[in-house]
Amino acid sequence: MNKLKAIQAGAGGFGNAWLNAMKEHPDGKVIALVDTNKETLHRQAACYGIEKNHCYTSLSEALEKEKADILINVTPPQFHKEVCLQAFEAGLHVITEKPLADTMESAQEIVKGAEKKKKKIIVSQNYRFTPWAWTLKDILAKKTAGRTGYVNVLFQKGPKFGGFREEMPYPLLIDMSIHHFDLMRFFLNSDPVEVYTKSYKPDWSWFKGDPSVNLIFVFKNGVVCSYNASWVAGGIETTWNGEWRFDCSSGTLLSRDDRIFLGSGTEKIEEIKLQSFNLTGQQYTFHEMAQALREKREPETNAKDNLKSLGMVFAAIESAKKHRVVKCA
């Protein structure tokens, strides 16, 4: 298969990460760029060698004029449904940034739209696609430490993004926790059945909504997972992956500062070397879509499957609002 041609919608912010990831990608290239901010659009186009006649402030114009295979959607979540449906209508497959949509209803409409037009859509759950995540997954799948009984996840950061994230009612849960929730499903090979959430806003917070949360998920396989997370940490931060502790029947698997340790008893602690891969993150997301098209299968983090990860987010928010345990769909 020749290199796939992509139109990217969204040039600023995280759009820059995608443009960088797509430079000299073995499976495809960005042939056109769309952004409503002309200054950002032309600055990024110049940086990444995209000619001005392939720059657009209108997505519909880009879809009409460009011959492409894939749309890379890096717009804010509230625009995901509109952008994805336009792309399907124009005959393109879609790679979209997480979360799939800003509401469960919109996310379901995106999935239905892809099915109707027989197009593939992958959600960029790029935290799965790293040597760190693949190494943890492999250890857990092989049951090196035995059966997983319970999991504790700690995530503490203090980013000052500005923009739409600081206006969200639940910025951490909606914009960030989807990564960690998707990793829970990935690592445990199971889906949650219920959640209890306490969401809150420390008095020094610079977010309009609640940037901190403590919650507990119970999974179908019986594993209990606790999640302690904040976006207003004052110091001693975790990595973006967070700190993970898997307590198992024959030992403990611990990830701290993205290093992985396997321990049994109090003295036998071994650091596990991370696996090595050529493509990771956004680069692997695009590669996975390309492979799915070649092999005529659904990509790993396809939108229909990702509804389960997104459902965890909205179940957690519902629990926070109602101050009670909520069933996960």
Query: For the chain, what percent of residues have pLDDT higher than 90?
Result: 91
The dihedrals phi and psi of 183, each to the nearest 5 degrees, come to -65, -35
Inform me whether the pLDDT recorded for 265 exceeds 90: no
In tens, the pLDDT along 267-276 reads 688 999 998 8
> Average pLDDT, stretch 223-240?
97
Question: In Å, what is the CA distance from 145 to each residue of 142, 187, 228, 266, 269?
Answer: 8, 14, 24, 14, 12
- The two tokens of residue 162 are 């500005």
> Is pLDDT of 14 > 90?
no
Domains of the chain, earliest start first? 4-119 (3.40.50.720), 131-277+311-327 (3.30.360.10)
Let me know: does 21 contact 283? Beta carbons within 8 Å. yes
**pLDDT for 72-112, tens place per residue?**
999 989 999 999 999 999 999 999 999 999 999 999 999 99
Work out the end-to-end distance of the chain between its first and last CA atoms, rounded to an integer number of angstroms.
Answer: 38
Query: pLDDT digit string (tens) for 183-197?
Result: 999 999 999 999 999
Strand order in the sheet with 70-73: 55-56, 28-34, 4-9, 70-73, 93-97, 121-124
Give the whole-angstrom CA distance, residue 216 versus residue 194: 8
**How high is the pLDDT of residue 123?**
97
| pTM exceeds 0.85 | yes
Tens digits of residue pLDDT in 132-184 = 999 999 999 999 999 999 999 999 999 998 888 898 899 999 889 999 999 99
User: Contact, 153 vs 228, CB < 8 A?
Assistant: yes
pLDDT given for residue 179 in this prediction: 96
Three-state DSSP class for 197? strand
